[in-house]
Amino acid sequence: MIDAYTGAGVRAAEQPLLDAGHGDILMRRAALGLSRVCETHLRRANRKGLLSGTTTVILVGSGNNGGDGLWAGSFLRRAGVMVTAILTGSTAHPQGLKALRALGGSVVRLEGQGSATDPNTAPDASIAGFHALDRGQALSTMTSAHLVLDAMLGTGAWGGLRGEAAALVEDFNAIRRESATGPRIVACDVVSGVNADSGEAPEPVLKAHATVTFGAAKVAHVVAPGEQLTGHLTVIPIGIEDRLEHPSVYRLEAQDILAAWPRPTATDTKYTRGVLGVVAGTPSYPGAAIMSTNAAVQTGAGMIRFLGDASTRGMVLAQSPEVVCSDDQPWDVHVQAWLAGPGVADDESQAARVQAVVEAQEPAVLDAGALTAAAQSVADGRLGAHKILTPHAGELEQVYEWLKGFGVTDDAPDRTRIEAAPVHWAREAARLTGATVLLKGATTIIASPGSEEQDQVCLSIGQASPWLATAGSGDTLAGILGAVVAHVAEHPEALRRLGEWARGDGRWAAAAALGAGVHALASRVDGEGPVPPTVLAANVRRVLRTKGQ
């Protein structure tokens, strides 16, 4: 599990050490770790595996992120690397600058560089004397280096890159798109311009092969779009680790998912394993019913009760004879949890069943066609953490429109804004609806609503294959989620090994994250390639047969 923090969370842990005058030591520890990672990349870039003869360009901003870069440059100099620092801010970390120059690193400044607020502000006196490179010269210095270290902006920045620094990165990216070769890019702490707390990544950004961060991972490393720009992440301990408090986001990794997955014990029966009721599909869209029930079967649900029309029931039974099918209403059957919504559209009987599931006491996975009913019900009060909404960004946009219509919020983001800051909008949707929200995307974000007793829990799941972007993969996820939620409904403490946060209302977020995690793992069982939903569901069994721990 990766515990990811906000910049403020890390600063709070650092503060006592800074107050005690240990700021320089923290920075040098950070920079030494950073230089070691750079050395590994440089050795790979040199055919002989040596550091001497390799070149590094450091893009250095005006704050402590730039300070880390300059100190790292001084360590690289010690190891025999040729280092050029290009100052991109209107000032630079004085001690870092001194350290790099003392070891023979060359320092230049980017012509036309400016301060954060005014790109045209002249460099201050401390750096005005350095030779100025115009953008074209800076660009060729970068492209001819073995490694570019991006130390322009870190956790103290707001907004993206600006002025000449932004133009330089834009030009560099244009060259990069055309060329298969080029320098390795290592980011110091976070990719410059990426918001460390939300993962937002205003263009332009220098996509990294590797990022070296300090003390703890930041939220931007584990949520889209920041995660996709981060490359391989290394966390360097700097002595603040014991002082860190609550993480902002938990990233569950494969071993966490497999170790925490709830497994039956010898005393379990089909009823104690969790009975899942499914309201899915219509005569026009039977496929979603077939795929979601099949996924729940393959995930090991104790029993599945499917409610729907006769022709869909026939098809569900033909695919999965394990499923008990009927045309009952939800209030007539006894289940531990519900899955409602896949393939439900333009059908009054299924819409009425969906509505009954939204209003039912039992926990429920509310997917696709159930999301509107769920959003509408918020007009009458909060849904509860045991209701799990599973939108993609486009569906979440519609949920927000309903919430705005009911006066629950003034700000209804569109799909683009949601995709730019998914962790923010998933959290906000959970808070406003009172439900657990699972937002599907490049990384899947799960947020609990939070309550007086428990803070909001936020999780992220990665590792899903891009091949999952096919019709039916959401129906498969819904079935997996239904199965695990039904189990957790019957065994409220089942996920406690993940942490204290996975108890109480947080257990629904934990269950949803495990479901999304298994779905992601199933997409890669056979490596990278097409995974049609039927194969995906079968892969779930293979994933779960792998012994965790």
Ligand X SMILES: NC(=O)C1=CN([C@@H]2O[C@H](COP(=O)(O)OP(=O)(O)OC[C@H]3O[C@@H](n4cnc5c(N)ncnc54)[C@H](O)[C@@H]3O)[C@@H](O)[C@H]2O)[C@@H](O)CC1
Name the one residue in this structure whose structure tokens are 């599990």: 1
Nearest-approach distance from CB 533 to K ion, in angstroms: 40
Question: Radius of gyration over alpha carbons of the chain, in Å?
Answer: 26
| Percent composition of the chain: helix, strand, coil (DSSP 3-state, to 5) | 45, 15, 40
Q: Is 65 an interacting residue with respect to ligand X (CB under 6 A)?
A: yes
Q: Is 8 an interacting residue with respect to ligand X (CB under 6 A)?
A: no
Give the CB-nearest residue to K ion. 192
Among 83, 97, 116, 432, binds ligand X (CB under 6 A): 116
On whether 392 is known to bind a ligand per the annotation, the reply is yes
From the list K ion, ligand X, none, partner contacted by residue 192 (C-beta under 5 to 8 A by kind): K ion
On whether 9 is known to bind a ligand per the annotation, the reply is no
Cβ pair 412, 401 in contact under 8 A = yes
Nearest-approach distance from CB 124 to ligand X, in angstroms: 11
Q: Is 157 an interacting residue with respect to ligand X (CB under 6 A)?
A: yes
Nearest-approach distance from CB 6 to ligand X, in angstroms: 12
Cβ pair 280, 307 in contact under 8 A = no
User: CB-based contacts of 416: which residues, under 8 Å, 6+ apart?
Assistant: none
In the complex with ligand X, which residue's Cβ is closer, 4 or 116? 116
Cβ pair 229, 192 in contact under 8 A = no
In the complex with ligand X, which residue's Cβ is closer, 222 or 276? 222
Which three-class secondary structure string do you get for 265-279? CCCCCCCCCCEEEEE
Residues that bind K ion (CB under 5 A): 65, 150, 188, 192
Cis peptide before 262 (omega within 30 of 0): no
List, in sequence order, every residue forming a beta bridge with 58; answer none if it has no partner.
85, 149
CA–CA dist 517, 537 (Å, integer): 13
On whether 546 is known to bind a ligand per the annotation, the reply is no
CA–CA dist 183, 41 (Å, integer): 10
Q: Is 27 an interacting residue with respect to ligand X (CB under 6 A)?
A: yes
On whether 443 is known to bind a ligand per the annotation, the reply is yes
- Nearest Cα to 518, choosing from 258, 133, 313? 258
Among 214, 250, 261, 306, binds ligand X (CB under 6 A): 214
In the complex with K ion, which residue's Cβ is closer, 89 or 391? 89
Q: Is 446 an interacting residue with respect to ligand X (CB under 6 A)?
A: no
On whether 405 is known to bind a ligand per the annotation, the reply is no
Nearest-approach distance from CB 71 to ligand X, in angstroms: 8
In the complex with ligand X, which residue's Cβ is closer, 20 or 310? 20
Nearest-approach distance from CB 57 to ligand X, in angstroms: 18
Judge residue 466's burial from the number of C-beta atoms within 10 Å of its C-beta, 0-12 exposed, 13-18 middle, 19 or more buried. exposed
Residues making up the binding site for (6S)-NADPHX:
288, 343, 392, 475
Which residues contact ligand X (rule: CB under 6 A)?
11, 14, 18, 23, 26-27, 30, 61-66, 68, 89, 116, 153-159, 162, 188-189, 214, 238
Residues making up the binding site for AMP:
440-444, 474
